[in-house]
Amino acid sequence: MTTEATGKSQGIYYGWFVYAAVCVCMFLACAFTFNTASIYYESVATAFDVGRANVGFYMTLVYATACVANLFWAGPLLQKLDLRIILSVACGLVGVALLIMSNAQSIEWFYVAGVLMGLGNAWLLWLIVPVVVGRWFKKRNGLLIGVGMACTSISGTLLAPVFSGIIQSSGWRSAYLYQAILVLVICLPLAIFVVRSRPEDKGLKPLGWEEAEATTATSAKEQPTQQEGITLKQAFKKPSTFILCCVFAGLANIGLTMNFFFPSFTTSIGYDAATGALIASTIMLSSLFGKLILGFLNDYSIVLSNIVGIVPMIIGLACMMLFGADNVAWLYFGAVCFGIFFAVQPTNVPQVARKLFGNISYDRIFTYVAVVMPLAAAVGSTFWGWIYDITGSYSGAFIIDMVIGALALVVLLASLQTRKGLWAWAEKHPEVK
């Protein structure tokens, strides 16, 4: 039995089942799009007699399509449609894309699959976890988002070696097929039968709503005019905070795409490909713990969480650039530091947006912030390689990425300052809704 008065059930709160279902979808559908993609590149390139860049272009289409989807329809549909429909369509698109890749007879079919993956991951990668957490839970949101996002890193760490073995033993087509079956057989039923859009659908209230209301009541006594958040129209009417939030999100996404080039950097300074692969794995494992740590810190201090996420990246890249060629230990140290930074985009950006704009129109506002993230990732995916092609070294790329990290912190602090003016203005203009 459930009781609406308390928002709890006599057993387990139903929101945990919704959250677990979403985490499984991240672990499978989302991770199969991004975290295991690179293990196929060499085999597919050889099969179709094309370059790796030709294979990797489908990932550019994933980001580009997600950017368009976030700009025009992903957010509004998330508000209008049942979450079961959204998540079922998202996972179905990824599953069908993997089937297409399994049966592709030319590289062009990968580009078709890339578009389908982009459509599905417009919801999966950027929107589903923060929206579900925000709707069903009113406490420990930062940690819950961190754990949800960490599912992709866990999957990459655990399943990438498994599917690499399948590629070696049965071929890349079989590996894609198995991934498609897992997504369609596990994720789709969870989306259809377990997920619910909001606590009200089960006669519940968000977990922790009592504490949230008590805090709000206390704040209201101290500041009677305080509101719960900024509406979309208010955010656009006074856009400085929104623009700075988008810039922060873009910088975080461009910065993290350096991850794609660490194996190449490692071989460029004299190490073998196996060392490069271990560096990449170290980053992935570090990002898992980074998401948990930053998620935990977000519940206490947005600024501290981002300092912990960004400063180690600056230090780590400097050590890799200056000392990595002489001692491989510095490469692993830098990889651990960069892995923590890798967690900033999926874990901290949603919480920064929530801090800046509150809960009233968070879903709608964050949808527009999410437009910037795949666009920035698409740019960064080629930008660092372009610098190397021009200079013959990754030093310039590392320096630029360190500057981007520092700028991200400055932009964050600036956005928190403009937030004060935005909220004060919104309280004086409640007619702007």
pTM over 0.85: no
Q: What angle do CA 288, 289, 294 make, to 5 degrees?
A: 105
Backbone angles phi, psi at 392, to 5 degrees: 75, 15
Tell me the two tokens of residue 280. 């990449």
Amino acid at 122: A
> Among 37, 13, 21, which Cα is nearest to 148's?
21
Residue at token pair 């897992």: 182
pLDDT at 195: 95
Residue at token pair 């698409």: 378
Distance, in Å, from the CA atom of 234 to the CA atom of 419, rounded to the nearest integer, reads 12
Distance, in Å, from the CA atom of 1 to the CA atom of 108, rounded to the nearest integer, reads 53
Distance, in Å, from the CA atom of 252 to the CA atom of 71, rounded to the nearest integer, reads 19
Inter-residue contact 346 to 352 (CB < 8 Å): no
Beta bridge partners of 8: 3
pLDDT at 161: 83
The sign of the dihedral angle between the CA atoms of 268, 272, 277, 281 is negative
pLDDT at 307: 97
pLDDT at 3: 47
Distance, in Å, from the CA atom of 180 to the CA atom of 163, rounded to the nearest integer, reads 12
Q: How would DSSP label each residue in 33-68?
A: HHTSGGGGHHHHHHHHT--HHHHHHHHHHHHHHHHH
Q: What angle do CA 85, 192, 161 make, to 5 degrees?
A: 100
Distance, in Å, from the CA atom of 261 to the CA atom of 407, rounded to the nearest integer, reads 21
Residue at token pair 């399948």: 166
For the chain, list residues with pLDDT below 70: 1-10, 211-227
Tell me the two tokens of residue 224. 């009677």
> Among 342, 189, 184, which Cα is nearest to 262's?
342
